[in-house]
Amino acid sequence: MADHSKSRDLRPDLDENINVAEAHAALKAAPAVGREKSLRENGMESVSLWLLLVSGVVLLVAGAVFGQGGGFLNYGELVKDGYIQGNSPVGEEEPLLPQPALSFLQKQGAKHYSTCNGCHGPGGAGQPGNNIPPLAGSEWVNGNTEKLLLIVHNGVTGPISVAGATYNSQMGAIGANLGPKEMASLLTYIRTSWGNTGDIVTPEMAANGLAISKKRGGGKTTAEELKKSHDKMLSGAKLAPDTLLDPETWEPVTKADDSQDAAEGAAN
């Protein structure tokens, strides 16, 4: 038989006389235990009733604002009269502000000059030693635009006198794929660079020139043919260098489109 009284002395925690329910009830009064009580079975605290009420009111008000057509947020009502949203200067795209015709066409044309660069040189000096004539100071570039467009669009072959020297070689139809805008900008670029004195070739003029080329049929031109049949200016309205162009359409901007800058520009 086990001696109960003895084991009671050695291991008091197993004493059957301690009432577990009573011991816990005594602890209930302690603050820490009180807090634990408010935890739910899933371990989350229950949400305060106040928070629920306040959220409800916020949602009601927000619903009312949007419900009446976003009245508080109406752009048209908030913005001052006469305010015009500007273009964002962010990003790689060029800002679509009107630009003076000459500098705009030069900038565009310079891109296409990369196909001429290899022969006529970045400064337009040509390579006289290699039978390649200059564009700088050339009467073909500065002079009448119909023959110039035909040279670039169709190519040229045979003897040609340029700035006092005679060359005799040939050039292919390097600009055959250029549309009216590209052609206009390229011709404007070479006519107004390196000390040249030509004026602007407009897309309208270039389109007329391309039509003449089409009527003429294919094949390289010769200096002789150009002088005989094409020594004319291309027809089309002239464009003053400081006319403001819309860089998207390449058309002159009207005053209505552009209130601040047009006044200085358009002498058209």
Name the residue among 178, 170, 63, 47 with its Cα closest to residue 112: 178
* Number of other residues whose CB lies within 10 A of the CB of residue 48: 9
Report the phi/psi class of residue 237: left, alpha or beta, with left for phi > 0 and alpha for psi in -120 to 50. beta
Distance of CA 98 to the CA centre of its chain: 15
- Name the residue nearer to ligand HEC (CB basis): 100 or 126: 126
Type of residue numbered 63: G
What separation in angstroms does the CA of 1 have from each of 4, 5, 6, 141?
A: 9, 12, 12, 129
- Name the residue nearer to ligand HEC (CB basis): 117 or 249: 117
| Tokens matching residue 15 | 């004493």
- Name the residue nearer to ligand HEC (CB basis): 131 or 259: 131
Which residue's C-beta sits nearest to ligand HEC?
116
Shortest Å, Cβ 90 to ligand HEC: 35
Binding region for ligand HEC (CB under 6 A): 115-116, 118-120, 126, 131-135, 138, 140-141, 148, 151-152, 156-158, 160, 162, 167-171, 174-175, 190
Shortest Å, Cβ 124 to ligand HEC: 9
- Name the residue nearer to ligand HEC (CB basis): 120 or 230: 120
Shortest Å, Cβ 257 to ligand HEC: 33
Shortest Å, Cβ 135 to ligand HEC: 5
